[in-house]
Structure 1
Amino acid sequence: MPRPGYLVTGGTGFLGATLLARVNRQNVPVVAAVRQGSMLLGGIQHFLIGNLDASLDWEGALQNIDVVVHCAARVHVMNDNSADPLAEFRKVNVGGTLNLARQAAAAGVRRFIFISSIKVNGEGTRIGRPYHADDLPAPQDPYGISKMEAEEGLRALAAESGMEVVIIRPVLVYGPGVKANFRSMMSWLSKGIPLPLGGIDNKRSLVALDNLVDLIVTCIDHPAAANQTFLVSDGEDLSTSEMLRRMGGALDRPARLLPVPAWLLRSAAALLGKRAVAQRLCGSLQVDISKTRTLLDWTPPVSVDAAMRKTAEVFKAEINTAH
């Protein structure tokens, strides 16, 4: 009889690709759900998928699968032009997730690991008042609402079917190949552009890609992870100003930060219609990972500075290749 293996969705994404590389070294059969034409590591079985919605047939991917790690999602985007963003998020993040989970339970999958989002908790915290894994959810945007609804459906399915469900809510993830705002900040720093972000006294939790992958791998087999929700971070919270200084150090380009007061930045952002950007730069979002540490006996294996250096090395290599 074939050995039971793992199914990873989102196998070519920022998180999924790194997770696949890690589990592929464990001598366990691995199936990666990918879109047509996607490239993956050798030795990993591909399962080609179409639209990730409630109609997708997963039977061919779930044979002899013990654990599903569901990374694929319709991700949060800054300027969503959909006529009904919540409906679009629900199609993939709720309908697609629960469709896969029901088929997984029917196929005898032991454990379903769902990569959710800290946006289920909310959009920000007061300094020293971090989110906890078992707080009442308070999502404020369509993406966060869709992730919360998927979590609720998964918990109901676990109670009904006996399949174990593990929910992981990451904060902002960074690491080699990171895109979006984190990459933009590295680009500004590498060019020596002065930034008006030297006077921000907030606190934000981040998580290095390698730390998130390590927690997911821990949750694959750990008995205490069953039917639990975990928050994850690097265990060190930084202000935006400190993050930029550390990032500049990793890039060997000292950050040129001007001490503009946060209230002035918020006011300017409001005039420009960029309140959400100002919230991320000036606001706080902290998480308490004591439950994750205690229940799983888990500690983030990679420090912030080591993760920043690894991220910066890949960024610099990409810049040199482009030139």
Structure 2
Amino acid sequence: MTVLLFGGSSQIGHYLLPLLAARDEPVVALSREARASVPGVTWLNGHLPDGVPAIEDVSAIFSMGPLQRFVSWLNQAALLHAPRVIAFSSMSAESKRASEVPAERDLSQLLRDSEAALAEACARHGSAWTVLRPTLVYGAGLDKSLTPIAHRAMRLRVFPLPAGQGMRQPVHAQDLARAALAALDNPVAAGRILAIGGGERLTAGEMFARVRASLPVDTLPLPLPAWLLRMARRGVGKLRGPLSRLEADLIADNTEMTRLLGIQPRPFRPDAECWGRRLG
């Protein structure tokens, strides 16, 4: 039997692939780019939703990419053995539900609709499923939130520090990989949508300060006071959503996830390796 992976080159996949390769079942990972296979992992070229090669005897499927595309493939796939399905969504499904930015409300609705569609598709296949909703993800230098900020600060030697008081709960990608594997091994997680955040809650301002402290180069701190952020929020349309969220709590309740999976995510203590590469 085979474990099929979508998003193996993602930040969560970076940590999940070695964990899966160490198990007994062969692993097949899909990528748009040619990648060399390694012991325990076979890479195939393909893409979601309509460019996936036929793979027989699949026992489990992990999805760490766009949920809507995965569900589109799942609806049309021929799966003979009712494989276990573990898919990642996002806490944006809840945190952006009441956003003042229409595009963010649309994203929230799309995520929730995709989660419901995944449950329906799995029911047709007879497959048990689990959806994980992470908060802000970091750890492999592949995220599109904190890593670009870190790289820009290293390049410019200046680190903006907005005065946000909204609570944050960054979660390390390795902890998410461990949670995905635990969901595979724990039948009690079937049919659940589980929120998962890091092991520590801190203000947005403190989160940015810790990112700055983790950098391998010195940067000049550039405090951005609340009054300036309010002006930018009113005057620059594309900043309206990100700046409004600085005062909003973007957190997760880990209680149910920890009870079912036994995972205790780490606190937010980033180091230079979390940002993937060093800029001189």
What range describes the TM-score normalised by the shorter chain of this pair? 0.7 to 0.9
Query: 1:172 aligned to 113, 136, 141, which one?
Result: 136
Partner of 1:86: none
Q: Does 1:225 align with 2:189?
A: yes
Q: Is the 8 A contact 2:86 2:184 kept in 1?
A: yes
Q: Deviations over 1:237-287 (max 9, x none)?
A: 121221122222222557754554424303223212211221344432111
Partner of 2:200: 236
Q: Does 1:24 align with 2:17?
A: no
SS at match of 1:121: helix
Taking structure 1 as reference, are residues 263 and 22 closer, same or farther at Cα in structure 2, changes over 3 Å only?
farther
Partner of 1:71: 64
Unmatched 5+ residue regions in structure 2? none
Query: 2:68 aligned to 86, 94, 99, which one?
Result: 94
Amino acid of the structure 2 residue aligned with 1:284: D
SS at match of 2:16: helix
Give the % identical residues: 22
Q: Does 1:109 align with 2:88?
A: no
Unmatched 5+ residue regions in structure 1? 74-92, 126-138
Amino acid of the structure 1 residue aligned with 2:194: F
Q: Is the 8 A contact 2:74 2:121 kept in 1?
A: no
Partner of 1:84: none
Query: 2:165 aligned to 179, 193, 201, which one?
Result: 201
Query: 1:119 aligned to 92, 100, 118, which one?
Result: 92
In 2, distance between residues paired with 1:159 and 1:181?
34
Q: Normalising by structure 2, report the TM-score.
A: 0.85
Query: 1:249 aligned to 207, 213, 217, which one?
Result: 213
Q: Is the 8 A contact 1:245 1:254 kept in 2?
A: no
Taking structure 1 as reference, are residues 33 and 252 closer, same or farther at Cα in structure 2, changes over 3 Å only?
closer
Amino acid of the structure 2 residue aligned with 1:240: A
Residue 309 (structure 1) shift: 4.5
SS at match of 2:202: coil
Taking structure 1 as reference, are residues 241 and 291 closer, same or farther at Cα in structure 2, changes over 3 Å only?
same
Partner of 2:11: 14
In 2, distance between residues paired with 1:247 and 1:16?
23
Q: Is the 8 A contact 1:124 1:283 kept in 2?
A: no
Q: Normalising by structure 1, report the TM-score.
A: 0.74
Partner of 1:155: 119
SS at match of 1:154: helix
Partner of 1:287: 252
Matched residue pairs, number?
273
In 2, distance between residues paired with 1:253 and 1:210?
25
Taking structure 1 as reference, are residues 262 and 284 closer, same or farther at Cα in structure 2, changes over 3 Å only?
farther
Partner of 1:76: none
Residue 188 (structure 1) shift: 4.6
SS at match of 1:180: coil
Structure in which a larger fraction of residues adopt strand = 2
Taking structure 1 as reference, are residues 107 and 286 closer, same or farther at Cα in structure 2, changes over 3 Å only?
same
Q: Is the 8 A contact 1:176 1:311 kept in 2?
A: yes
CA RMSD of aligned residues (A): 2.7
SS at match of 2:95: coil
SS at match of 2:114: helix
Q: Is the 8 A contact 1:124 1:284 kept in 2?
A: no
Amino acid of the structure 1 residue aligned with 2:77: Q
In 1, distance between residues paired with 2:218 and 2:194?
35
Amino acid of the structure 1 residue aligned with 2:243: A
Matches within 5 A, 1:253-264: 256-257=220-221, 259-264=223-228
